[in-house]
C-alpha cells in the first residue's frame, strides 16, 4: 500500500534538486492536493480569527493574479467532497491545478518577492499538501488548453 506525506515546503533534497532541472518540454500542470489547518497559525505569532482555509484563500487570490505574470493560469480549483475509490486515512480539503509554460516559470514564480509576500498566508493556512507535476498526454493539448 502506498504511503504519503503532506508537506508545506519541499523537504527532500532530491526533490529540490529535481525542480532545478529543465523538466519536460511544453506546459506543465501542477496538481495540488491541499489540507488546511482548522485555525490559521502565522509564524510571526500574530493573532487571527481566520481558519486555515481562509488564510490560504488570501494566498490563492494573490497567486492566481501573480501566476499570469509568469505565463500561467489556474486551470481548476474545487473542494473535495467524497472518496469514490481507494482508501486514505484522511481526505484532502481541496484540489487545484495550475498550468505553467514550463517548470522554470513555476520555479521563478515561487521564488519571487511577490510570491514570498503572499506565502505567509499559505504557510499559516496549510497543514500540508502534495504537489504533482503532470504533462498533457498526446491528443489532449487542444482540449486541455482551450479556454
- Report how many domains make up the chain: 1
Maximum Cα interatomic distance, the chain, rounded to a whole number of Å: 50
Query: What contacts 104, CB < 8 A, 6 or more positions away?
Result: 22, 23
| Domain extent for 71 | 24-135
Per-residue pLDDT, 63: 95
Chain segment 102-139, per-residue pLDDT in tens? 999 999 999 999 999 999 999 999 998 889 999 988 87
Q: Is the pLDDT of residue 1 over 50?
A: no
Residue 93's contacts (CB-CB under 8 Å, 6 or more residues apart) are 34, 35, 36, 53, 79, 80
Say whether pTM exceeds 0.85.
Answer: no
Look at residue 72 and tell me if it is in a domain: yes
Q: What is the pLDDT of residues 43-68, one digit of tens each?
A: 999 999 999 999 999 999 999 999 99
Question: Helix crossing, 113-125 with 52-69: angle to 10°?
Answer: 160
145 located within any domain: no
Strand partners, 39: 51
Note whether residue 117 is domain-resident. Answer: yes
* Separation of alpha carbons 121 and 105, rounded Å: 22
Whether 89 is covered by a domain: the verdict is yes
73 lies in some domain: yes
Domain for residue 114, yes or no? yes
Beta strand 94-100 pairing with 126-134? unpaired
**Does residue 70 register a pLDDT over 50?**
yes
Banded model confidence at residue 22, pLDDT cuts 50, 70, 90: confident
| Nearest in space to 109 (alpha carbons), one of 46, 41, 42, 59 | 59
Inside any domain, residue 126: yes
Residue in 19, 8, 18, 26 with CA at minimum distance from that of residue 106: 19
**Residue 77 belongs to a domain with what CATH number?**
3.30.70.100
pLDDT of residue 102: 94
In angstroms, the CA 110 to CA 132 distance is 15
Residue 5 lies in a domain: no
Angle at 120 between CA 116 and CA 126, to 5 degrees: 120
Amino acid at each position: 500500500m502506498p504511503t504519503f506525506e503532506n508537506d508545506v515546503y519541499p523537504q527532500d533534497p532530491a526533490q529540490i534538486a529535481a525542480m532545478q532541472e529543465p523538466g519536460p518540454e511544453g506546459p506543465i500542470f501542477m496538481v495540488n492536493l491541499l489540507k488546511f489547518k482548522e485555525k490559521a497559525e502565522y509564524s510571526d505569532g500574530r493573532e487571527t480569527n481566520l481558519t486555515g482555509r481562509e488564510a490560504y484563500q488570501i494566498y490563492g487570490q494573490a497567486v492566481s493574479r501573480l501566476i499570469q505574470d509568469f505565463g500561467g493560469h489556474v486551470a481548476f480549483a474545487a473542494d473535495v467532497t467524497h472518496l469514490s475509490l481507494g482508501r486514505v486515512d484522511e481526505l484532502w480539503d481541496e484540489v487545484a491545478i495550475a498550468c505553467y509554460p514550463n517548470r522554470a516559470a513555476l520555479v521563478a514564480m515561487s521564488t519571487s518577492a511577490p510570491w514570498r509576500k503572499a506565502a505567509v498566508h499559505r504557510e499559516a493556512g496549510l497543514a500540508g499538501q502534495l504537489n504533482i507535476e503532470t504533462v498533457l498526454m498526446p491528443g489532449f493539448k487542444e482540449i486541455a488548453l482551450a479556454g
